[in-house]
Every structure is written in C-alpha cells, then in structure tokens.
Structure 1
Amino acid sequence: MTTTVTPGRTGPADSGEQVGKGDARRRMPRIPDRIRHGALPYLLLLPAVLLELLIHLIPMVIGIVMSFRQLTQFYIRNWGEAPWTAFDNYRIAVDFSAPIGEDLLNSFLVTCAFTVLAVGLSWLFGVAAAIMMQENFRGRGLLRAVFLTPYALPVYAAVITWAFMFQRDNGMINHVLHDQLGLTDQPSFWLIGDNAFFAVVVVAVWKSWPFAFLIVMAGLQNIPRELYEAAAIDGAGVWQQIRKITLPSLRPVNQVLVLVLFLWTFNDFNTPYVLFGRAAPEAADLISVHIYQSSFVTWNFGQGSAMSVLLLLFLLVVTAVYLLLTSRTPRGASRTRKSADA
C-alpha cells in the first residue's frame, strides 16, 4: 500500500497556517454591533441626502443669493458681477401700489382662489368616490381603474388633450354645451378671458381628485366594519354613519391629504403653462407662471428669485400653522382616550 504525498503541502503546516489566520482574525479590531447597526440607517440615507442637496437645497441657496442682486440679461454670462441690491427686489415685490407689486398681489389672490376650489373639489370627489367604492357590486374593480386613469396619465399629454377640448370652434366642451345641450347662446372662449379661471380649475380637479380617492380608499380599509354594523343596529342612517364614523376616523388621513394637495396645487406650474402657454390670461395668472414670466420673459432673474423666496416663506408659514392647528387633539377624542385607558 503506497501513500501519495502532495509536494509542498503537509498537514502540520496547513493546520499551523489555519491557526495563525484564526489568531489574526481574533486580534483584528471588531466594530461594535451597536455602532455598526446605528450607522447603517444613515448610510442608507446618504444617497438620498446627497441627491436632495444637489437637486433642491443647493439651487435654493443660489436662488436666495440671486434675490439680493440686480440680475438681468446683462449679467447672465457672469451673474456674480451683478450689483448687490440688498432688499430692493423684495421692496419692489411687496409694493402693491406699484405695477409690479399690484400684478403680484393679483396673481397671489387668483392662486389662493384657484387652490381653495381645486383642493376642496378634489377632496370632496375623492371622499365621495372612495365611500361609494366600499360597497361590493359588479364591476367595482373596473370602475376603480377608470377613476385612477387621470392620475396615471402623463401630465403634459392630459393637459394638451384638455386644451384641444377647450377650443372654441372645434372643441368637445363647446360641442356638448352649445351644439348638443344648447346651454349657451354661442360657443364660449375657455382659454382667454374670465372663463380661463374655470378652465384651469376643471383641469386641476380632474388631475388631482384620483389621488385623493386613492388615499381615502386606503384609509377606509382601517375602519372596522363592526362600527358600521353596530351603528346600523342602533338605527343610524348612511349620512349619520359618514358623519359620526367615517369622517372622524379619516381625520389623520385627511390632515396629510389636504396639506399635500394644497402644496401641489399652489405650486402647480405644468397645468397653467401647458394650457395657456407663456402668457396666461389675467383671470388665470397663477403665481407659478407669474414668477416664470418675471424671470424668463422679462429677464429679471433677481426680481423673480425674490418672488420665489416670498412664495417659499408663505408656504412654510401656512404649513407650520396648519400642522400646529391640526396636531391638537380634540377634547372629545382626548376624553375618549382617557376613559378607554381608565
């Protein structure tokens, strides 16, 4: 019987090497598990933080610096040489007796009215549709998909389609209202004049209410069905159940939903720009398009940056006040929680 020995490899040497490696591994400093697990979330958030810095925070700081300069088309090539004007751009923007300040105030009021109507109607349609979709009936899945279609469509394609529908001579809106139903004496101009305000509200509501529908429908899944059954046994009708059970239970969802809809609608630039182009009618002069015109049409980037900073401050104040008011627990709810804990 012969024993085959592999040249250059011996048992004791291999075991010695393994023992040496094991000792080296034992001598290597090990990161404590607490530090390692504590740093992991920050490492995962690091790419998002870097993108946030590059996309939002750094341009925002640059815009704030630009608002203190007289940055016009003469300093585009080297905007660092633009004269420093301190708060002059802000004084001009808030001087409501002057043409620039008066136009900005009119645009701000139009945007407020537009936001109130668009957010209110979007929330109302979304809640009504979500409550209706809670009942089981044939075709419910298909109807849900149809309701979510405006939210799934690209914004530009949808708004361009609405622009064609609002055409005076060959648009579908005038064809239905004037030619078929006879509700108007003559075809209306929807993209110019006072009707432009209603046109942009209709498009904004059509585009936003499916989001409200989706969020409210998800919130309704957390309401126990036993509450409705008990209320029905006690003789509560549909409206009483909605008012006493559904809306109070949806309060946390509605708080976030209304805030998100407000921020999206007040800052909406795509809808009015695609619908009207660069020159929006006075009745639909939303502040986002107004700031764009002040910056890229008149080439006064310093003035446009000052308006943007004022808009940012307004939205921050409104958001802080809204969160402060809605974060307070109602007295009835606090008493209910105390009694439940007792």
Structure 2
Amino acid sequence: MTHVTTTTPTTVAGDGGRTAREASPGTAAGGPRRRRPGRIRRVSLPYLLLLPALLLELLVHLVPMAVGVVMSFKELTQFFIRDWGAAPWTGLDNYQVAVDFDAPVGEEMLHSFLVTVVFTVLSVALCWLIGTAAAICMQDAFRGRGLLRALFLVPYALPVYAAVITWVFMFQHDNGLVNHVLHDQLGVTDKPSFWLIGDNSFLALLTVSVWKGWPFAFLIVMAGLQNIPKELYEAAALDGAGTWQQIRRITLPSLSAVNQVLVLVLFLWTFNDFNTAFVLFGKSAPAAADLVSVHIYQESFATWNFGRGSAMSVLLLLFLLVVTGVHLAVTSRGRRTRARV
C-alpha cells in the first residue's frame, strides 16, 4: 500500500494564521526578498519628471552665474570682448574698486545701493499695506466683488513694458496726465513738474513700482484669508470685538506665515527690479532713481567694463543671500518660539 504524505503550510505566529508563503510574497524558499520592477519605476518617476526642469535651471541660471563669477576676477573690458578668455586675471581688484567708497566708482555704487534700499523698503511696505487693505475689504461677499477683483489684478497681469510706457506718457512735462490733474485741475503745484528727471524721479519710480506690485500682495493675502475660519470672527463679534480688533487679533496673526513669505518675495523682486527703471528712464537713470540693477547695467554696457560689473553683480547676490538667510532664520526661530508656547 502506498502512503501519501501531505504537508501543511506553516503559519506565521501572531499574524492571523497567514502562511509563510503568504507572509513573504515574491520570495523564494529561504531566499532574499527581491524588489519588484514596478516599484523601482514608481520611485524613480518623480526624479525623471524633474530632470527637464533641473537641466533648464542649470542652463539658464547656474551656468551663467558661474560664468559671471569667473568674469568678476578678470579685467574684461572692450578690448577682450571677442576673446574674453584671454582677459588677464585681476584677482579681487574689481571687488576692491567696487567697495572703495572714497573713490568715485565706490561712492557711486554706495549711493546707488542706499537709493535701492530706501526704494525697496518703501515699495514693499506700500505694496503690502495696500494689498492687505484691499484683500480685507474684498473678504465679505457683495455685489460686483468679482469685477473689482479682476480690475485690481490688471496692473499685475499687464506686461511690464506696456504698463510702464503708459506711465511715461502720463509723467510727461507738457501734456502728461499727472501734471494736468495736479496743476491744471487741482492746483496742487505752482507749475508743471518734471517727473522723469531730478529729485521727482524717485517719486515717479516709487509710484509705478507700487502700482505694479500691490496686486500681487492683494492676490496672496486674499488667498491666505480663505484659510481663516469664519467662526473666529463670529465668536469675536459676540464678545464685543470691533472691526479693528478683529483685524489686529485674528486676521494679522493668522496671516503671519503668509506675510513672511510675501515680504521676502516682494523684497527680492523689488531690489532686483531692472525693467521698471529702464523703461521709465532709459539707459541713464537720474541720480535720485539710480537703482543698483541699472547702475550695474551702466557699469557693464556703458563703460564696457564687464569684469567690474560682474563683481558688482556678485556683491549684490551675496547681499541678497545674506538678507534671505537672516529672514529665514528669524522667522523659523519665531515659529519655534510660538510652538513652545
């Protein structure tokens, strides 16, 4: 008589009676676990999708940045433009000339830097103030709110050249709309003012920058307001809090994270802004509106000293990196402090 021996699959303890074969699918008896090809594809897919963007970032930003750093250590003038690799090395001479504030080049660079700092602080503050006020006013639903929101975003949606060139015509001395309103209609000024030259050029530049930048602050703050529960305002109203108290105690604290990112982005954009001043004043900006970006352009393409202009660009990059690092350190420390409390 032939005896048939049957084997019962062993179960894994504490696993609801699952068999050892079921507990380790895809493995041979006693062999190592193999990673499925589909899992490898799923893990590598995000990196493959990011690869084109990383290559474009490398070609558009990182490579020119590295070339600019190399150029800052060379005496790259108009005599070496055809073969800039043959320009002699100067070491840190270009940087020393740029930061020598007793010499004419360094003095002009310092003046341009201070003008840019004042301009950036005022522009960012006004953009944030106007954008936040408009977003708060647009928070409650009313008839025509959608149309107003669309109109508020028009300056931000317009191309820079089309927007700024319109202001150039408005700031004209003889037939500009600004002088017509201020002098002819309202009588605020004794005579028509020159807005594109002299000291008034700073006000003209600030006006255009704020007009062009505040819709972005409005858009970001308006998106942040959507995340604040309306129950907080209802509870505050029941406790007798007025509108200003609700804004100060609920709205602004709830928007702190949004405002931190918004202020940093506005600062970087405004400090680096070249298009607005260039379209408004041309290649040579007045001394009162001589921004760093325009000054570096003039140093590079007007005097044909690309080595010194590259050194100034590197110094500007280092300054913005320091400001960004300090801002991130302060904001992260503030978040940790609030988390402990």
**TM-score where L is the length of structure 1:** 0.88
Q: Cα distance 1:165–1:225, how it changes in 2: closer, same or farther (>3 A)?
A: same
The match for 1:282 among 283, 287, 298 is 287
Amino acid at match of 1:252: A
The runs of 5 or more residues in structure 2 that have no matched partner are 1-33
Q: CA deviation at 1:38?
A: 1.6
Match of 1:66 in 2: 71
Aligned-partner Cα distance in 2 for 1:35–1:81: 49
Specify the alignment match of 2:108 in structure 1.
103
Identity of aligned residues (%): 75
Corresponding position of 1:271: 276
Written as runs of structure 1 = structure 2, the 5 A alignment for 1:8-23 is: none
Secondary structure class of the residue paired with 1:260? helix
Letter matched to residue 226 of structure 2: Q
Give 1:159 deviation, angstroms.
0.2
The alpha-carbon deviation at position 36 of structure 1 amounts to 1.8
Paired residues, what number? Answer: 308
Q: Cα offset for 1:327?
A: 1.4
Confirm whether residue 219 of structure 1 aligns to residue 209 of structure 2.
no
For 1:11-160, what aligned pairs fall within 5 Å after superposition? 32-160=37-165
What letter is aligned with 1:42? Answer: Y
Name 1:182's counterpart in structure 2.
Answer: 187
CA deviations on 1:206-239 (whole Å, 9 max, x unpaired) are 0000000000000000000000000000000101
In structure 2, give the amino acid aligned to 1:261: L
Letter in 2 for 1:40: L
| Equivalent residue, structure 2, for 1:333 | 338
The structural deviation recorded for 1:135 is 1.4
Distance in 1, matches of 2:66 and 2:255, equals 38
- 1:332 deviates by 7.4
Alignment of 1:167-316 (within 5 A): 167-316=172-321
Residue matched to 2:327? 322
SS of the aligned residue for 1:329 comes to helix
CA apart distance, 1:333: 3.3
**Aligned CA distance change for structure 1 residues 292 and 78 (closer, same or farther; 3 Å):** same
Deviation (angstroms), 1:253: 0.5
Q: Tell me which amino acid in the other structure corresponds to 1:267.
A: N
Distance 1:335 1:80, change over 3 A: closer
For structure 1, the residue ranges without an aligned partner over 5 or more in a row are 1-28, 337-342
Could you tell me which amino acid in structure 2 is paired with residue 194 of structure 1?
D
Question: Structure 2 length as normaliser, TM-score?
Answer: 0.88
Amino acid of the residue matched to residue 66 of structure 1? M
AA aligned to 2:48 is L
